[in-house]
Structure 1
């Protein structure tokens, strides 16, 4: 579930928890194989990871990579996933994750204790952590976090090469494209002047914006990201005045809080009773919608299910 504590509770965890990388101009480049048949890959930081063979003890430090790796390699090749992999509210692999006993947080001691032959993490991870792992002789591959669905597919291909499973990567991408195509064929029936405007209203406020994964999700779902429509950038938050100006048809509300303390029913009630927001169409027409956050905030292959869920929520008559 995707950039951490700097923006606060939910955004910290949901927006950048996730983890994958684009690979735009940074896709792994295989070097001349070592004499014993190994290979080398260059990550988004320019670091060359030398691998004697396909990694057999992988450690993932982001939830997005958890989801990618479990699709690319068998569980026995994964030494550890993140502690969030078991949480079905934000993880799309909570059942599969049970096959991997190792669960860790992003700290050097936990990683080193797993004796991995390759660690995969995101470019927002603290460079001090990355270097401390490398200092004990463990290879770390750092990917560039994706901002759209095309980049998610690109990073799947990238990581598939890194772990030596190109065919599995191609299958995942093909499945994503099939899901997007099926949704797209339905969305084609919606007249342009009937396209719905959506505001993603998180626990911190309205978010999304230009260049964000959410904007791209909306584009594929045939809806308009309200935050992007008023020029918000991907790291910003909407003020209530901006939400009123947008006047969205749908308010997307959250269903996960990593603290476990939020009453989401009360959260929705408070929105409905907000005197400043009562005038917008989404509240007047009772169009507060929940789509699982594990889809909405995904930066793995599961983002396509966020697209189909969003499209169905906006245009149920076409499904």
Structure 2
């Protein structure tokens, strides 16, 4: 709770217009909508979860139509999957060169970013590291890199 309060104070003091993000997961194409843990992390990071903002619920397919309707400022892609399948450059390039996505702010501004899976699917007390990473992607480095210490709940 202390870490979440600290994150909120830093995000609030950044006094910037809230950015929107959209998680694009190859592991689970139905994850990331309203009601997901990712949605909660977005809230704490001070960013809008773009699909949730347009009413997409967790469990609904996150297809290209949703991407266009949600129009996020940032696409967040899973890095671990791409490294394992040797497609890091190719996957990001798919977004940047897709004519259907060309008018989205995320694509126009090259805001197609990778995050490690451990940050995207951190459904425990250590999600504070994920929340900081998401906030840093959207708002610049408002949190300094620090050693990530496993937080014990006991």
Q: Which residue of 1 aligns with 2:42?
A: 218
Deviation at 1:237, TM superposition (A): 2.0
Bigger RCO (CA 8 Å, 6+ sep): 2
Q: TM-score scaled to structure 1, two decimals? A: 0.42
Larger radius of gyration: 1
Name structure 2 gaps, 5 residues minimum. 144-154
Q: Name the CA distance, whole Å, in 2 between partners of 1:229 and 1:268.
A: 24
The residue matched to 1:187 in structure 2 has which SS? helix
* Alignment counterpart, residue 301 of structure 1, candidates 117, 120, 125: 125
Deviation at 1:179, TM superposition (A): 2.1
Check whether the contact 2:20–2:49 (CA below 8 A) recurs between aligned residues: yes
Q: Name the CA distance, whole Å, in 1 between partners of 2:111 and 2:49.
A: 15
Q: CA RMSD in A?
A: 2.2
Check whether the contact 2:135–2:142 (CA below 8 A) recurs between aligned residues: no
Deviation at 1:294, TM superposition (A): 0.5
Check whether the contact 2:74–2:106 (CA below 8 A) recurs between aligned residues: yes
Q: Name the CA distance, whole Å, in 1 between partners of 2:110 and 2:139.
A: 15
Name structure 1 gaps, 5 residues minimum. 1-176
Q: Deviations over 1:212-271 (max 9, x none)?
A: 001000000000001111211111222212211221101101112299324122110111
Change (3 A) 1:206 1:280: farther
Which residues of 2 match residues 142-221 of structure 1 at below 5 A? 177-191=1-15, 194-203=17-26, 205=29, 207-221=31-45
Q: Name the CA distance, whole Å, in 2 between partners of 1:261 and 1:273.
A: 20
The residue matched to 1:188 in structure 2 has which SS? helix
Change (3 A) 1:223 1:206: farther
Change (3 A) 1:301 1:212: same
Q: TM-score scaled to structure 2, two decimals? A: 0.82
